[in-house]
Amino acid sequence: MFDLLAAFPADVFPLLLLGLGLGLLHSLEADHVMAVSVLNSQSPSFSRTVAFAFYWALGHGGVLLCGGLLLFGIGVSIPESLSFIAEVSVAALLIMLGAYLIWQLCSRRICIKPHRHGDIVHTHIHTDGHADEHVDHSHVDSVASAHKPIMVGVLHGLAGTAPALALIPAIASGELTIAMIYIGLFSLGVITSMVAFGIGFTYVQKRVYRRYQSAFQWMRGFLAIGAIIAGSALLLRTL
């Protein structure tokens, strides 16, 4: 391993570290953050959010590795038409996720609940704040560990392949090994920052969820609106 690294020119290492730094920043782009946030905006769970963030980043990084192997291994680049379709799909996905979350919030039931304090019984009229807690968490967890987050990550990866691979020719100088190390470090940065964001996001969610139920629902509403705005902006920019 060290012999392999020693064979590289000394000026390559700062550029490889640049790939790690760009990966750390890349995953925090608006469309990435909004997709992960909206999909994890129900009752907060560290394990579910971290799993979703990790598998999203895995799908994203897998596409970049495949794109790098195709480009620097056999000289075939991912078609621009495929990247265009992926960008439009990402934009449409964000808009649909935001619209679905708004529909979820608007369809919450109005409940009349009796409460007893000693001999006194009275009722409250309120929205069913536990509706979101009745989600089948076994289903959510299975999704978080399987296909949905990976496919969302693949879509984002296809949409952002060209910018992510743009610096590699200058860095690799035709060396497939250097190109793969660069993509690996870039993907590591994506995974690290997205998982860190997921942990921070869930921490805030948990604090708000436990203390301020209405504020938690407002936060979900702002996320939904943000997703629609981000998706619309991406769609206008792409088209």
pLDDT band at 107 (very low <50, low <70, confident <90, very high): confident
Residue 131 exposed, middle or buried by CB count within 10 Å (0-12, 13-18, 19+): middle
Cβ(64)–Cβ(183) under 8 Å? yes
* Range in 95-104, 151-160, 190-199, 228-237 the model is least confident about: 151-160
**Model confidence at 232: pLDDT above 90:** yes
What Rg value do the Cα atoms of the chain yield, rounded? 22
Other CB atoms within a 10 A radius of the CB of residue 231 amount to 24
* Range in 101-105, 142-146, 214-218 the model is least confident about: 142-146
Cβ(234)–Cβ(90) under 8 Å? yes
Predicted pLDDT of residue 43: 66
Q: Which conformational region is residue 212 in: left (phi greater than 0), alpha (psi within -120 to 50 degrees), or beta?
A: beta
Total-model pTM: 0.74
Identify the residue with better confidence: 95 or 27: 95
Beta bridge mates, 125: 112
**Model confidence at 208: pLDDT above 90:** no
**Model confidence at 129: pLDDT above 50:** no
Residue range 133-142, pLDDT digits in tens = 444 444 444 4
**Model confidence at 187: pLDDT above 60:** yes
Cβ(187)–Cβ(17) under 8 Å? no
- Residue 189: closest CA among 18, 68, 14, 4: 18
| CA angle centred on 45, ends 39 and 48, rounded to 5° | 60
- As a whole number, mean pLDDT of residues 94-98 equals 90
Predicted pLDDT of residue 143: 45
Give the chain's mean pLDDT: 76
Residue range 168-180, pLDDT digits in tens = 665 556 677 777 8
Residue range 76-86, pLDDT digits in tens = 777 778 878 88
